[in-house]
């Protein structure tokens, strides 16, 4: 989508497809998120948002933590 921005985070503890699904579901609930991909092999989640100013990284980090995972820098 035009005008979308990307946030990429490293996720510790995401080791399988079920983990990917939990992370996608948790981040997908955030208003302003347009698409989420999670990859257990690389341990990354890539989040497409309409505007980074309306979806701060802290909100993404909290959703991941609430789903039982840890964000690493």
pTM over 0.75: yes
17, pLDDT greater than 70: yes
Which of the two residues, 43 and 53, has the higher pLDDT score?
A: 43
* Separation between Cα atoms, residue 14 and residue 54, nearest integer Å: 26
* Separation between Cα atoms, residue 35 and residue 27, nearest integer Å: 9
Q: What pLDDT, on the 0 to 100 scale, is given for residue 1?
A: 46
């Amino acid at each position: 989508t035009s005008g979308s921005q990307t946030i990429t985070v490293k996720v510790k503890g995401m080791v399988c497809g079920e983990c990917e699904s939990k992370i996608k579901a948790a981040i997908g609930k955030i208003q302003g998120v347009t698409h989420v991909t999670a990859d257990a092999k690389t341990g990354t989640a890539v989040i497409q948002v309409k505007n980074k100013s309306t979806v701060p990284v802290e909100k993404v980090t909290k959703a991941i933590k609430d789903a039982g995972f840890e964000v690493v820098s």
